[in-house]
Amino acid sequence: MKTLFVDEDWEIEVLLNVLRARHPEDEFDLAETLDQARKAIWAVKYDILVLDVMMPSDDVVVPKSSDKAGLLSGLLLKDLIRSDANCPNKDTKIIILTGLLPSEDSKVTEAQQIQGDLFLQKPMHPDAMYEILARESVNSK
């Protein structure tokens, strides 16, 4: 299973360290900025993408991400992935992982409704996270 996490939080670095130690057979990549994320997503095909909603904005990489101080930057990145036919991850399963409550913004509420059980709330325990990743990886095949 090849997964990319897009998040700048320490918590995710730790989560990935634990996942890598426990599941060396799987591949867990991390992109800490929108720029790194865009480069990785448009270059490599992943089984699952895990996106944070609130990333440091970068209007060049993800247009309008500085609107609302990056509050929706991860959702905008998701829209970019889905709308680009040339993106190798256009149809890859996307999990939204955020510390925000759905009530923070109507777009976040909307994302939660669309994502259903793929809208996850931080902090995530590594075991719970891996269970979901393994399940979704099987479902997507």
Judged by CB under 8 A, does residue 60 bind other proteins?
A: no
Collapsing DSSP states into helix, strand and coil, what is residue 67? helix
- The identity of residue 97, as a single letter, is L
Instruction: Report the b/e string of 64-95 with b at 16+ CB within 10 A.
Output: ebeeeebbbbbbbbbebbeeeeebebeebbbb
Compute the least distance from the CB of residue 14 to other proteins, in Å: 4
Stretch that binds other proteins, among 41-49, 74-82, 89-97, 119-127 (CB under 8 A): 119-127
Contact by Cβ (8 Å): 74, 98: yes
Q: Does 104 bind other proteins (CB under 8 A)?
A: yes
Which is nearer to other proteins, 21 or 85 (by Cβ)? Answer: 21
99 binds other proteins (CB under 8 A): yes
Is the Cβ of residue 14 or residue 44 nearer to other proteins in the bound state?
Answer: 14
The interface with other proteins within residues 67-96 (CB under 8 A) comprises 67-71
CB-based contact 66:41 (threshold 8 Å): no
- Residue by residue, DSSP assigns 73-141 as HHHHHHHHHHH-TT-TTTTSEEEEEESS-GGG-HHHHHHHHHHGGGEEESS--HHHHHHHHHHHHHHH-
43 contacts other proteins (rule: CB under 8 A) = no
Closest separation between CB of residue 10 and other proteins, Å? 5
Interaction between residue 133 and other proteins (CB under 8 A): no
Q: Binding to other proteins by residue 13, rule CB under 8 A?
A: yes
User: Which residues lie near other proteins (CB under 8 A)?
Assistant: 8-11, 13-15, 17-18, 54, 56-57, 66-71, 98-100, 103-105, 122-123, 125-128
